[in-house]
Amino acid sequence: MLIRAGYNIAFECTAPTPLLLMVHIRPERRADLVEPEKFTLYPEIPYRTYTDGFGNVCTRLVAPAGRLSLWSRLLIKDSGLHEQLPVGGIQHPVEELPDDVLVYLLGSRYCDTQKLTETAWALFGDIEPGWPRVKAILEYAHERITFGYEHARSDRTAHDAHEERLGVCRDYAHLAITLCRCMNIPARYCSGYLGDIGVPYDPNPMDFSAWFDVYLSGAWHPMDARHNKPRIGRILMARGRDATDAAISTAFGVSNLVEFTVITDEVKDA
């Protein structure tokens, strides 16, 4: 299966403003590209890329005063199969976890484990460790939050989402990640493209999506607390401890988002 993905994004700045962007797919998916990932800026300004400590491709630039437009398109191969859940997956004792996995047990800006640890153990402490416990957390986060684009808020933590019971995909991910970490299950935040492939069409405007990975049986497995079902065609762009590490854009100054269109479509006539 082939997927056409991309975006049209524009910022309006009152003065020259440094920007940090994560708008490229992860290096692991480059081998699946059928056409190179195209990236265009208007006006054409200098930029450079680097790879951060989480393996994300980051773009640095200084946006000029006025409007800066970003445009990208890519064509990528996908298996066309639903993701496989790690049924029977084993939870590792903390002392047996690899060194680079330990960071995903720690609290972070949006994953405030110290506020949810008591709640997590009360809810999931009697559930069998491993996949049964992850499944229970996934279902709890899915049912706890009511989705709505009007509920988006950039400063909402996992604890806030738990108490407010409102949010968008990143809030589902933050809550599930935090509950997993409270139960000593490594979990990390992911963002990227997720189109309406193999599911009923969603009339809402397409957006980037947030999900999370859990570490069971020595491997990472994608989970989606918002949809709570395996999906087709997920395209990873960035991952980290939480949305801070995988933000599409971070402005070091005043920057207003004035255009935002995301495209993720199966190529039917491929």
Q: Are residues 98 and 222 in the same domain?
A: yes
**pTM as predicted:** 0.96
Query: Rounded to an integer, what distance in angstroms lies between the CA atom of residue 95 and that of residue 35?
Result: 44
pLDDT in tens, 237-265: 999 999 999 999 999 999 999 999 999 99
The domain that holds 20 is classified in CATH as 2.60.40.2250
Residues 70 and 51 grouped into a single domain: yes
Task: Point out which residues pair with 7 in neighbouring strands.
Answer: 72, 262
- Using the predicted structure, report yes or no on whether residue 270 has a pLDDT greater than 70: no
131 and 98 part of one domain: yes
| Domain limits for position 27 | 2-80+248-266
Q: Is the peptide bond before 222 cis (omega within 30 degrees of 0)?
A: no
For residues 128 and 35, membership in a common domain is answered with no
Q: What are the tens digits of pLDDT across the range 59-118?
A: 999 999 999 999 999 999 999 999 999 999 999 999 999 999 999 999 999 999 999 999
Distance in angstroms (rounded) separating the CA atoms of residues 242 and 226: 16
Alpha carbon of residue 189 to chain centroid: 5
Same domain, 62 and 190: no
Count of domains for the chain: 2
Residue 85 lies in a domain: no
Query: pLDDT tens digits for 4-60?
Result: 999 999 999 999 999 999 999 999 999 999 999 999 999 999 999 999 999 999 999
